[in-house]
Amino acid sequence: MKSIAIVLTLLILLTGCSKEKDYYGGITQDKVPDLNDSKLENVHEFKGHNDNWGAIMYVAKYKGSEKMFTRTIGIYNGKDPKPKGDFKILVDNIAGSSTTTFKQPPDEGIYMFLTGSPSTPPTSDTIVTLVLQTKEKSEKIELKMD
């Protein structure tokens, strides 16, 4: 009976202490320089992840303007060495496509990608499909408004 109580106590402690993996590298809006401007309004955050990547896309606009812009961040969480070279970024439902080149992979595995500007504002139902293509691999991540 005593051993059952000890096992149950250990299970409770271990499950209570387990931490969900941080796919997003601790990135928050306040850590993105372009998004700390008091003239901004309507900053929307989209997040998603797969086995190798966490991704965050911010869609924002300045007060009094209809033109929106995006900031897209990829956080590499894979087991293979961090990728480098040309990344083709395809963004469905928000922006178009672009190519960003990394001659060396970022030390922390946090990649800032250039993406286009949305033509219509996103809603809470908008699902963004982000495709990261390198020479070796293509990976899809579904992003939802957080």
Q: Is 21 helix (H, G, I), strand (E, B) or coil?
A: coil
DSSP letters, 102-118, are ESS--TTSEEEE-----
Residue 20 has a pLDDT of 56
Residue 25 contacts residue 109 (beta carbons within 8 Å)? yes
Residue 84 contacts residue 102 (beta carbons within 8 Å)? yes
Other CB atoms within 10 Å distance of the CB of residue 94: 26
Nearest CA to 32 out of 65, 68, 72 is that of: 72
- What sections of the chain are H helices per DSSP? 2-17
Residue 51 has a pLDDT of 93
Nearest CA to 113 out of 146, 91, 80 is that of: 91
Residue 3 has a pLDDT of 47
Domain boundaries, the chain: 22-145
pTM for this one?
0.80
Residue 31 has a pLDDT of 86
Q: Report how far residue 116's alpha carbon sits from residue 68's, in angstroms, rounded to the nearest whole number.
A: 9
Residue 73 has a pLDDT of 92
Residue 56 has a pLDDT of 94
pLDDT one digit per residue (tens) for the chain, 146 residues: 444 434 334 334 444 444 457 888 888 888 888 888 889 887 889 999 999 999 999 999 889 988 888 889 999 999 999 999 999 988 877 777 788 899 999 989 999 987 878 878 888 888 888 899 988 889 999 999 87
